[in-house]
Structure formats: C-alpha cells, structure tokens
Structure 1
Amino acid sequence: MLLRLAYLGVTNAFAMLRLLSMSDREREVEILALRHQIAVLERQLGKKRVRFAPSDRAFLAALVHRLPRDVLRRVRRLVRPDTVLRWHRDLLARRHAAKSRPRLPGRPRTVHSIRALVLRLTRENPSWGYRRVHGELLVLGVKVAASTVWEILKEAGIDPAPERSSAFLRSQADALLACDFFETVTLSGVRLYVFAVIEHANRRVRILGATAHPSATWVVQVAKNLVMDLEDAGCRARFMIRDRDGKFPELFDSILKDAGIEVVLSGVRMPRMNSIMERWVQTCRRELLDRTLIWNQRHLLHALREFERFYNRHRPHQGIANARPLQPLPAAITDPGQIARLGIRRRERLGGILHEYQHAA
C-alpha cells in the first residue's frame, strides 16, 4: 500500500506541474471533460459501487479533506462526501495506531512443543479442563501459567472448564475429613456400595471397601480400619463430615469419637456441605466408573485400588495448587533445550482408562 501511495503522489505531482503551463481556459475544458467521463461511468455502473483500493482511498481523502463540506457536495464524485471524510478519519486512526504501537516486544510466544503437549493432553483426555491440564504440566516439570493453557485451548476452539474453589473449607482443611457412600451396578445387575474417605488438607483418598450389603457390622469394621489407617499415617483430624444416611449406625460415630474425631452431620438434602467428598465421587464416576464395565465385586475393588493409587500418587489436584496428595510437584524445567525437546511417554492403567505421563528415560 505504501508503494502504491508513493506512486500516486509522484504521478499527481507531475500532473500538477503540467497544469502550471496550461491556461485557465484549457484547465476548465479538462475539468469539464473529466466531469463528463465521471457521468458516463456512473451511467454504466448503475447501482453498482466503485471499488477503491486502500491507497486510492488514502490519496483521495488527503487531497479533498480540507475542502468545506458545502464545496465538497458540489464536486463531481463517485462517492459521497461523508464516505471521503470517513476515509480520512480511518487514515488518521491507522497513523495514530502505528505511532502508539509499543516498541518493545511483549511476552514471547509459547514454545511449540508445549502447545502441542497441551493439545495432546486435551485430545487424549476430553474430560480434562484447563486447570487439570495445567496440573499435569506441573507434574511433568513444565512450568507455564494456567492462563497460558486457557489461551491455547481457546485458540484451538476448545472450551476450558470453569474454576471451582471453596475458601472456607481450605482454611479449615487440616482438621477435616469427609466420607460418603456411593453406589454402582455390575453387568449382572448387582448393586454395590462403596465407602470412601477424603482428607481436606491434602486430598488423599482412602477407599475402605465395597459390599452389596452395607450392614451395621460391616460399617463398624470399616470405621475401625479407618482409625487404624489414620493413626499409622499420623493424621490428626478433629472432624468428620458425613450425611444423614441410615447406613451409619451410632457405633460408627462412637468409634470415631473415641479416636478424638467429632462427627459433623450435613444438612438435609444439602450436598454442598460435603462438597469436596461429592466432588471426588463425581471425579471417580467420570474418570473411572462411567468408562468401565464392572463384572463383579472383585473387579470393582481392583479398579478402585488402581484409581486410588493413581489419584493419590499421580493425579494433580486444583485444591492443593496442582500438587499430588502423596507427592509434591517436581522442580520446574529451566533448561530451554530440554523444554524445546520434550520427550513425554504415556503409561496406561486399567487398559487405557487412566493415563499417566512421564518423561522418557
């Protein structure tokens, strides 16, 4: 466009020089001839519009913008005066934008290998949101901002998942446990009940068993096993959040009370009072149970044990800054050469239902 504009300026400068040697009568005759040619062109075009190149618009706007509006309306033209004035405003706006553009470059573009890895993780795990992908990158030692993952997914036309948080529960996390029953059905139609406990402080999950008949004796034994596990792990919880399910006998609360853990009942039909446990149940269903055909109780326990190990040792969690419940995040990779050549290997669990990503040896 700049080259074209310079060419128009030079040719019209020579045309001005030619006009200096012409008499007033000759100039008036040429103006009348040009006006007649414009009229003929308008008749031939009819309702069609004349297409001006950007350089033509800029030159015409710079040429006539100083003319008063009433004079401009009397000039024979192919466009309206308001259009010419709009061209001039656009020319000034582009000139101002070019001068206002910062001289220093902004944040460098994300390395291609990282972008490819983000899209690969999202493609292989459609249920992951941008926070889940960001956590997996931190586990691999790839330090990028969560907003960068968001932008990569947005550019690829992938809608990132919303962020969820609970400030109050985080502030009280060190003293809180939560438990719940959830059910699943085998291929033969048998309904099995699973009992799980989660620690609010580090999001560690304990799956304590599954049964088709959650009797009071079975639940009491589960409570005893839980107390022993907590003592072995050195967990100093003070409160246990549970719902008002009739499967919990009074002896369940008594065993926990003897261990120094007070049972806190959630409100009636208020699952948000036990939101972290409910959230984990949703995660277990979405990432495991909804994608697995359970044959029997033994198969269910095997799948749940694998998911428990995956969740506690590998899967990053948003509520604890994308660390893993039993393992902290590794040091971020700072070597640009290593960042540019990311060799990531996928390890499959349960036949490919769960994916773990590690650096290739």
Structure 2
Amino acid sequence: AMRVIADAHPRWGYRRVHAGLAADGWQVNVKRVERLWRAQGLQVPPRRKGAGQKALGSDEHALWALPALRVGHVWSYDFMSVRTERGVALRVLNIVDEYTRVCVGYDVDYSIGAAGVRKLLERVFAEHGRPEVIRSDNGREFIATSLLGWLCEQGVRPVQVAKASPQQNGFIERFNGSMRDELLHREVLHSLTEARVLIGQWVRHYNTERPHSGLQMRTPAAFARYCAEQAATTPVSRQPA
C-alpha cells in the first residue's frame, strides 16, 4: 500500500505517504512507515532543473549604473501577484518612467505571458512614445526571445538586472510596494473586474494626486509637466558650421 501511494505521488515523502495510509484506514505510526520507506529504498526524486533560457542580467544594468537622465530615457517594469477573496490568483504588470516616476501603463489579468507584455507595451508606446531603455528582472516573460527581438525592432534597448537583485530595479520595486501597501493590503478584491477598476483608480491617484518624496513632494504628473516646460523654454544650442 505504501508503494502504491508512492508510485501515484512521486513527489511525496514518507510523511505524506503515512498521511495517505492513515486516510485509507491503516493503523500504523509514522516511524514504522519511515523504516519501511528506507528499507524499500524509496526516495523523492530530485527536482529537474528547468531547460529554459538562462538569466541575462548583470550589475551594469542596475539603476545606479544606468540611471535615467531625462524623460523617456529609462522605463522599468515588473509583475505583482495578488489574490481575490476566493483565492483566485491575479497578475499585475506595471510600467514606470524612472525619471518622472509616472506609471505609464499597467495590466491586470489571470495570466500575462510574453505576448501579453508585448500587447501592453504596444498600447503604451502608442500613447507615450518609446523609451530608449526598458529595465526588468530575469522573469521568463521579460527574457522571451520573441519579446526581446520585438523591442529591438522598436528601437528600445531591453536590459535585465542581475539575478535575485531586486534592489537594482528599485524604482518599479518601490512603485509596486506603494501599490501593495496603500491599496492591495487595504482592499478585499472580489473579482478581476473589481481589481482592474481599483488598480486603475489608484494609478490615476498616484500619477496626479499623490505627492512623491523623490520629486520634492510634487506629483509625477506635475513633475512631468515641469520637465516639458523646461525643455520647451531651454534654447537649443547651435552647432558650429
């Protein structure tokens, strides 16, 4: 009976197998199951390493090594996970202009793959233009060959921070942390539709009403307007003939 359960559930150890035996009516303690388990040479097989693309990031793509110098220079994006009241998992993808801190785009869905990332970027590019650089971690959606190739076709340079180094992508990490702290930890989400509405409202609030400590307490939208006004009034220097 122990082997039957082990064959049906190869990732189970002897403790779970014991629980399965007990559920089937076997009156046997866990220590005896452990002895029999070892005597039979049973063991949980090692996890198979993924055969996907290796991490592409490096320290030279950290925010302090590659800082945003102007509006539209560097964008960053990353995912968040959230659950509804019934435990349904949702994914949130946010995109931030690092210089102005404006959230230029977001998406909320049950699943967002590389094709979904591209779809959101197409919409945001049409509305805000294209950045020179877009920074991400090494999530499989961000390093998909199809997405990287498309970004290069658009004239956008995709860069990835070093593996397991979220601090190197600090602007989007801070944005996501603010969203979680100020919205997601305070609201009970009942559906995907409600999540989309509430997150959309919060993003508008963040861009246009919420003072940002990194922008001398201006809102991201107000700072973006200030940058546009400065660019419009700054004379263009003439190059010598």
Which of the residues 162, 168, 175 maps onto 1:280?
A: 175
Aligned length: 160
- Contact between 1:227 and 1:259, CA under 8 Å: does it hold in 2? no
One-letter code of the match for 1:172? L
2:69 to 147, 169, 172: 172
Q: Find the partner of 2:150 among 232, 252, 255.
A: 255
2:97 maps to which of 194, 199, 217: 199
CA RMSD of aligned residues (A): 2.1
C-alpha distance 255-298 of structure 1, shift in aligned 2 (>3 A):
same
Deviations 1:65-120 (A, max 9, x none): xxxxxxxxxxxxxxxxxxxxxxxxxxxxxxxxxxxxxxxxxxxxxxxxxxxxxxxx
Mapped to 2, the partners of 1:199 and 1:216 lie a distance apart of: 20
* Structure showing greater relative contact order (alpha-carbon pairs closer than 8 Å, 6 or more residues apart): 2
Maintained 8 Å contact 1:177/1:197: yes
State the one-letter code of the partner of 1:244. Answer: N
Give the aligned partner of residue 316 of structure 1: 211
CA distance in 2, matches of 1:286, 1:206: 20
Runs of at least 4 residues off by over 4 Å: 166-171
Superposition pairs for residues 177-326 of structure 1, below 5 Å?
177-231=75-129, 237-248=131-142, 249-326=144-221
Between Structure 1 and Structure 2, the one with more helix by share is 1
Determine if contact 1:182/1:195 at 8 Å carries over to the other structure: yes
Q: Is the 8 A contact 2:215 2:223 kept in 1?
A: no
Task: Provide the TM-score with structure 1 as the length reference.
Answer: 0.42
* Cα distance in structure 2, aligned partners of 1:325 and 1:169: 21
In 1, Cα distance between equivalents of 2:68 and 2:133: 14
| Separation of aligned partners in 2, 1:315 and 1:183 | 23
Whether contact under 8 Å (2:77, 2:94) holds in the other structure is: yes
* Partner amino acid, structure 2, of 1:245: G
Q: Percent identity among equivalent residues?
A: 21
Alpha-carbon separation, structure 1, partners of 2:207 and 2:77: 16
The 3 A distance-change label for structure 1 pair 173 and 238 is same
* CA offset digits 1:258-301 (Å, max 9, x no partner): 22210011111000110111011110000000000011110000
Which structure has the bigger radius of gyration? 1
Matches within 5 A, 1:145-164: none
Q: Per the alignment, do residues 223 and 253 of structure 1 end up closer, same or farther by CA in structure 2, a change over 3 Å counting?
A: farther
- Cα 1:328–1:216 shift into 2, 3 Å: closer
Gaps of 5+ in 1: 1-165, 330-361
